[in-house]
Amino acid sequence: MSYPTQQFHPQIYIGGKWCDAQSDQRASIINPATEELLGEVAMAGKADVHAAVSAAVAAKAAWADTSGQVRAGYLRAIAQAVLAQRDQLAQLQTANNGKPLAEAAIDVEDVIATFNYYADLAAELDAEQDQQVSLPSSDYRANLRREPCGVVGLIVPWNFPMVTAAWKVAPALAAGCTVVLKPSEITPLPELALAAIIDQVRLPAGVFNLVTGSGAEVGAALVAHPGLSKVSFTGSTAIGSAVMKSAADDLKGVSLELGGKSAALVFADADIEAALDIVCGGIFFNCGQMCSATSRLLVDKSIAENFIARLKQRIETIVVGDPLASATQMGPITSAQQYQRVQQYIQQGLASGARLLTGGGRPADLLKGYFLAPTVFTEVPLDSAIWREEIFGPVLCVNTFDTEDEAVRIANDSDFGLVATLLTGDEQRAARVSAALQVGLVWVNSGQVIFPQTSWGGMKKSSIGRELGPWGMHAFQEIKHVISAVRK
C-alpha cells in the first residue's frame, strides 16, 4: 500500500477563508515511518494569531445568538462529512502521526461520535435554557442560564491530533463559543483536513479559525491574547503550567489536559489471558504515546514470575513496521525529537539498575523511520526517572506487590493521576480499589474504551477540569442566574 497523496491545505484558515501567513516561513511535515517529506505548511506568527482572534471576536455575538438546534445542525454536518471522508482522513493521520491504519480509523470514529454527541447536547440546550431553580422562598423565582464563555483558544498535541481537536472544537461550538485552534507543528495535517471540512459545511465565517505554527510563537501569542476568554490546552505538564501562568496575567479561564504515569494493577484472581491483552494495549497502542498509557505495571507477587514470562513472549510477537500494512500492530514514534527522548529514557533505565526484559532499541529489520521495539523493564527502582516520569513511548515498567494496600499505595505514589486499569476477578476488590485510586478514570477488566458520554481528565498534575460528557461543554459555558421578586 502506498502513502496517501491527497492534498491538504498548506495555508491558515481565518474568517472563513484560507490565507497565507504574514511571514514567508514554512514548516516541513515529515512521515515518521519513512522520514520523508509529506509537505509544507505555513509557520504563522503573532500577527496571524491577532487576525484569527479578531475574526473570532467579530463572529462571537452572532454565533452566541444562534439556537442550540442551529449549532447542532452544523455539528451533525461536520460529523457526516468526516464520515464521508473517513478512509482518507485515517490515511492522512497515519501518514503524519505514524499510528497503524486500524488505530487511525478508531480515531476517526471517535471524532464522528464526538461531533454527533455534542450535536445532541447543543440541541437540548434550547429546552434547558432559563430553567427554574427550586428555592426555599416563594417570594422569589430563580432561573438558570448557561451562556457561551466567548472566544476560546484551543491548543492540541500530536499524539491524537484529530481526536484532541474534536474534543475541544465540538463542545466549544455546541456551547456557542467561537474558536481559534492551534495544532501541533508536528502533526497539523489532520486538523487542516478538519478545517477543510468545516469550510465545506459553511460554518459562519470567523466561528472556527485555525493557525499553524510553533508553540513558542503561535501558542504563546494565542494564550496571551487579550481577546480570548479562555484557553483549553492539551499537552505536557511543563507547557500546561506555562500556559496557566500566562493566562493568569489577565485572568483567563484555563482547562488543562496534561501528562500521566498511570498504573495497571494485576491481581492473582484476574483472568490472566485477558489481562495480558489489556496490559499490552495499555502501553503499546499508539506506540505508547498516550497520556493515558498504563506505563507502570504492578503484578501480584504470587503470579508475577509466570505473568511476566508470558508477557515477554506475547510482546515479542508484536509486529512493528509500516503503519499502512494490515499486519502491523505498532508503528513508529511520531517525531525524531520524541524518538530521541524515549531512547534517552531507556539509557536512564539501564543506568538506574532496572532489568531490561525485552526491546530497548530499533528492530533490526527496520532501518528507516523512528521505530523502536516494544520495551519492558522489570525490578524498576521506585525513585527512578523511568518509574516516575512520563516517557511517552513504548516502554513498560514493571514491579510487584504483596498486598492490595501496597498495590494502591504504589499506584497512588505519583505526581500524576489520570487513569488506572484494574484487573481482578473479585468485584468487591474492584469497588474498593477503584475508590482508593487517585485518578479520574478507572477501567476494570477492560481495555481503554472511551465514550463521549463519560468524562476525560484526572487528578493531581494530570488535569484541570474535565473533557467529554456534559462537563466538556460546561467548560465553555458561563453560568448566570436571574433572581426575580415575585409579585403577590
Residue ranges in contact with ligand NDP by CB under 6 A: 155-160, 164, 182, 184-186, 214-216, 219-220, 223, 234-236, 239, 242-243, 257-260, 291, 390, 392, 418, 462-463
Strands 355-358 and 375-378 turn out to be antiparallel
Q: Compare residues 48 and 390 and give the one whose CB is closer to ligand NDP.
A: 390
> What is the rounded distance in angstroms from the CA atom of residue 29 to the CA atom of residue 257?
25
Indicate the residue whose CB is closest to ligand NDP: 215
What DSSP line would sit under 135-156, residue for residue? -S-TTEEEEEEEEE--EEEEE-
**CB of 182 vs ligand NDP, minimal distance in Å:** 6
**CB of 479 vs ligand NDP, minimal distance in Å:** 24
Alpha helices by DSSP H, 66-137: 68-84, 86-97, 101-128
Q: Compare residues 155 and 283 and give the one whose CB is closer to ligand NDP.
A: 155
Kindly give, in sequence order, each residue whose CB lies less than 8 Å from that of residue 35, ignoring residues fewer than 6 positions away: 336, 368, 369, 370
> What is the rounded distance in angstroms from the CA atom of residue 315 to the CA atom of residue 373?
9
**CB of 337 vs ligand NDP, minimal distance in Å:** 9
Q: Compare residues 146 and 230 and give the one whose CB is closer to ligand NDP.
A: 230
Q: Compare residues 236 and 358 and give the one whose CB is closer to ligand NDP.
A: 236
Catalytic residue among 103, 217, 257, 467: 257
**CB of 456 vs ligand NDP, minimal distance in Å:** 6
**CB of 52 vs ligand NDP, minimal distance in Å:** 14
Catalytic: 257? yes
Catalytic: 291? yes
Kindly give, in sequence order, each residue whose CB lies less than 8 Å from that of residue 409, ignoring residues fewer than 6 positions away: none
For residues 270 and 445, is the Cβ–Cβ distance under 8 A? yes
**Which grid coordinates are listed for 312?**
515477554
> What is the rounded distance in angstroms from the CA atom of residue 466 to the CA atom of residue 257?
8
Q: Compare residues 129 and 214 and give the one whose CB is closer to ligand NDP.
A: 214
For residues 417 and 460, is the Cβ–Cβ distance under 8 A? yes
Q: In a 3-state reduction of DSSP, which class is residue 276?
A: helix
Catalytic residues: 257, 291
